[in-house]
Amino acid sequence: MRYEGRRPDTGEAVELEVRGETIAAIRPLEDQMRQLPWLSPGWIDLQVNGFASYDFNSEHVTADDIEGATRALHARGVAAYLPTIITGSDNRIKQGLGALADYCESGGYGASSLLGIHLEGPYLSSEDGPRGAHDRAHTRDPDWEEFQRYQEAARGRIVMVTLAPERPGAIPFIERLAAAGIVPAIGHT
């Protein structure tokens, strides 16, 4: 299979030859002035709260919502992503995590491109400014037992947690995340 486009590292117009799953050749094109799309590996997005009007944090997120967002992301070059559940009520967080886990298990369109789940909060700063759009009423200190309940709702799919390191108990919580193979991300601090 052959593709024409521009290299993202040099801008050069090239023909890309692919055999099976291997790039067999990259050849410069004679006409370097042609308008061509960029050739690039698929993007990986580590924080997607929703996309193309689909919201993973709505109270009633459905498989159709997740599929719609996934299709829209794929159409724009995102090959894989971490759907993200943000600070909210305990029930809303669990509902969102459960819906995403259900979709991953369903084998629906693009389910394998959901690389896990990113939990952004609720262990964030409660201060205006750093908190951003997160609901102050639901920000709180890290709680490992609570997190385990979230991980259970997600059926083990939480792979990244964003939290504010200044919250009481954050450092031991971060250590436990790392020991469990979960990426601790610093944010809203």
Q: Assess contact for 117 and 158: CB atoms under 8 A.
A: yes
Mean pLDDT of the chain: 96
The reply to whether omega before 41 is within 30° of 0 (cis) is no
pLDDT digits (tens, 9 = 90+) for 132-170: 999 999 999 999 999 999 999 999 999 999 999 999 999
Q: What is the dihedral of CA 140, 142, 146, 150, to 10 degrees?
A: 90
Order the strands of the 158-163 sheet from edge to edge. 43-48, 78-86, 117-120, 158-163, 183-186
The domains of the chain, with CATH numbers, are: 1-40 (no CATH), 43-186 (3.20.20.140)
Three-state DSSP state, 8: coil
Burial grade of 81 (CB within 10 A; 0-12, 13-18, 19 or more)? buried
18-27 long-range contacts, CB within 8 A, separation 24+: none
Q: Assess contact for 80 and 44: CB atoms under 8 A.
A: yes
- CA R_g for the chain: 20
- Give residue 21's pLDDT: 82
- Give residue 75's pLDDT: 93
pLDDT digits (tens, 9 = 90+) for 15-70: 999 999 899 999 999 999 999 999 988 999 999 999 999 999 999 999 999 999 99
The single residue listed with the structure tokens 């890290």 is 142
Order the strands of the 2-6 sheet from edge to edge. 2-6, 13-19, 22-28
